[in-house]
Amino acid sequence: MAESAKLKPGAVIATALIVALVMILLILLLVRVLVASQGGG
C-alpha cells in the first residue's frame, strides 16, 4: 500500500463516500433486523 500516499484528492473523497454509504446501509440493515426481531413493524 505504498501507493496510497499518491492518491488524488478526488479518489480519497470518492472512497470516503463509498465507505460512508456502505456503513449507512449496514446500519439501516441492522436496525431493520433488530426491529423485526422485536416483533415491531
What's the confidence (pLDDT) of residue 2?
Answer: 58
The DSSP secondary structure of 1-41, one letter per residue, reads -GGGGG--HHHHHHHHHHHHHHHHHHHHHHHHHHHHHTT--
Contact 41, 35 (CB under 8 A): yes
What's the confidence (pLDDT) of residue 3?
Answer: 61
pLDDT reading at 1 higher than 60: no
* Position 39 confidence tier, pLDDT thresholds 50, 70, 90: confident
What's the confidence (pLDDT) of residue 19?
Answer: 98
Q: What is the pLDDT of residues 2-38, one digit of tens each?
A: 565 677 889 999 999 999 999 999 999 999 999 999 8
